[in-house]
Amino acid sequence: MTQFPLKDKVALVTGAGRGIGEMIALALAVEGADIFVNDIDRISAETVAKKINSTGRKTLVHTADIADRNEVGNMFSQAIKIFGKIDILVNNAGITRDNLILNMTEEEWDMVMDINLKGVFNCTQQAAVIMKEQKSGKIVNLTSVSAQMGNVGQVNYTASKAGVIGMTKTLAKELARYNINVNAVAPGFILTPMTKNIPDTVKQIILQSIPLGRPGKPEDVAKVVKFLSTDDSAYVTGQVISCNGGMYL
Ligand code: NAD
């Protein structure tokens, strides 16, 4: 077993400026990977890149909006120009715009679909071209427990994340012939900026539904993504791995 299983590997993590994405980027760097840090928020992306550099790994920052096909195309061109390859793509960036179906606006629906679903399509299509040539690759998509069990006020988010599960299974079948593994991680309730504004009363109800009795940490999710990014998971593809403290079984 090599000490750094991801030595000489290059990983592109979307939405890596904070929360779960930041922890994924750091976890992959600790295993030896150089990291392409994507986030629409340049300052947070650069802050994470500096942290990664302090572990001795190389980084590149790109502020592409993953919903924008041209920006994503430019990002992957730059990745190839500078790093020459992409071994791991983590489709982590995602947003919520919660509302009940009776009140949801078209803008709220479209925005969530554009980033959470089309963003995954945009990045995966670019990565697939590169990984096909390399005859190897790992793609890890972030879905959600909300897609598995449904969640009031999240018809747009759950539709997008259920879509990611369908994409993961189809991509696993399409890309297996090129030695590309495609899997998804479905986090439960994880403490990040995304969930910080959930009212305390609602947080208490969620906590009562978690058998392990605590909210998840971004590190909990990053460890699962790390497993799916190394050859420890060489024979795993098309799977959705739950990381939810038992919240949904
Ligand atoms: P977060 O809001 O804390 O961080 C998301 C990051 O993505 C931010 O830095 C943001 O700037 C970036 N981003 C947003 N839109 C972008 C775009 N268009 N292009 C590039 N970057 C963009 O979120 P998080 O809680 O860390 O969630 C990470 C992923 O995990 C998301 O896909 C989310 O849906 C999923 N998830 C989170 C939870 C949870 O409880 N936090 C649960 C299940 C699933």
Q: Is 47 in the pocket of ligand 1 (CB under 6 A)?
A: no
Q: Is 226 in the pocket of ligand 1 (CB under 6 A)?
A: no
| DSSP string for residues in the chain | --S-TTTT-EEEETTTTSHHHHHHHHHHHHTT-EEEEE-S-HHHHHHHHHHHHTTT--EEEE---TT-HHHHHHHHHHHHHHHS--SEEEE-------B-TTT--HHHHHHHIIIIIIHHHHHHHHHHHHHHHHT-EEEEEE--HHHHH--TTBHHHHHHHHHHHHHHHHHHHHHGGGTEEEEEEEE-SB-SGGGTTS-HHHHHHHHHT-TT-S-B-HHHHHHHHHHHHSGGGTT--S-EEEESTTS--
Dihedral sign, Cα of residue 25, residue 30, residue 31, residue 32: positive
Domain 10-243 has CATH 3.30.70.20: no
Q: Is 15 in the pocket of ligand 1 (CB under 6 A)?
A: yes
Separation of 197 CA from ligand 1 center, angstroms? 14
- Residue 45 has a pLDDT of 98
- Residue 186 has a pLDDT of 99
- The whole-chain average pLDDT of the chain stands at 97
Distant-in-sequence contacts of 205-212, Cβ < 8 A, 24+ apart: 206/247, 209/247, 210/244, 210/245, 210/246, 210/247, 211/245, 211/246, 211/247, 212/245, 212/246
Residue 178 among the catalytic residues: no
Pocket test for ligand 1, best of 20, 240, 248 (most atoms within 8 A of CB): 20
Separation of 3 CA from ligand 1 center, angstroms? 30
- Residue 1 has a pLDDT of 55
Q: Is 160 in the pocket of ligand 1 (CB under 6 A)?
A: no
- Residue 107 has a pLDDT of 98
- Residue 79 has a pLDDT of 96
Read off the amino acid at residue 216: G
Atom of ligand 1 at shortest range from CA of 216: 40
Listed by start position, the domains of the chain span: 10-243
- Residue 2 has a pLDDT of 65
Pocket test for ligand 1, best of 115, 194, 198 (most atoms within 8 A of CB): 194
- Residue 3 has a pLDDT of 84
Residue with tokens 């947070």: 44
Predicted TM-score of the model (pTM) = 0.98
Q: Is 245 in the pocket of ligand 1 (CB under 6 A)?
A: no
The rounded average pLDDT for each run of 10 residues, N- to C-terminus, in the chain (249 residues) is 88 98 98 98 98 96 98 98 98 98 98 98 98 98 98 98 98 98 99 94 95 98 98 98 97
